[in-house]
Chain A
Amino acid sequence: MTKDEIRRTVIEELGNIAPETDAGTIDPEADIREALDIDSMDYLNFITALHKRLGIDVPEVDYPKLLTIAKATDYLARKLGL
């Protein structure tokens, strides 16, 4: 999997969680909680979806490391050894 594919996966899963918004058009550096009006349940569903899709179990203490699309992409790429 390439980093670009990871980024697309992140955007796709955010889109599933907030279908009323367009995750693909937000600033990759923006806090997704603000940009997509994501609450703690949405965020947990996002982390759960990433676990299912990529097999990466993000512990709670790492949650702050995935708060933007860019940071989430970097974090997941690192975990996948990219």
Chain B
Amino acid sequence: MKKSLKAVMCVFLFLLAVGCASDQKPAEEAIKAAEAAINAAKGEALKYVPDQVKALEDGLKAAKDALAKKDYKGALSAAKDLPGKAKDLAAAAAAKKTELTKAWEEMSGGLPKMVEAIKSRVDTLSQSKKLPANIDKAKFDGIKASMPEVTKIWEDAQKAFSSGNLADAVAKAKTLKDKAVEIMTTLGMQVPAGAKKG
């Protein structure tokens, strides 16, 4: 009786070991495929959707950690959806790139006109013996002092664009747009319709 129990136990342990080992290879392969898919997609994606890249890399890390702990089922489960998500990542990056390119094209055409109009108005008001009633002297002095900063933000945005950093270029252009709208409003100027969007 004891002998047969031992034999059953041995068979059970053997089957358990074989079962676990049979999960190991699929898990390793799933991780390999996931890693390859993420690496292939992340180049452009890092520039445009960094948060989504991080989420995928966290998923890959979780799969690898499970594999290291010999939790093959957990590793397989964590890795199997990652290649599909990596594909979505490439699509998301492309969509974001299109959105940023459109925003940059619009702002890079419009912002120089706003900046020129502001410079011209500040120059004229600087020659005025008395400011109009709707313009506060302290505020005007602040605007006048901020003109070099306005120019610099625009130069930095153009530099970011030239170096291929579209997201940074658009962020800087948006900062400048907000500042330009604020200045134009303070000076009682006409804010272009394009600058009122977004």
Do A and B truly interact?
A: no
Q: Mark B residues whose CB is within 8 Å of A.
A: none
Q: Mark A residues whose CB is within 8 Å of B.
A: none
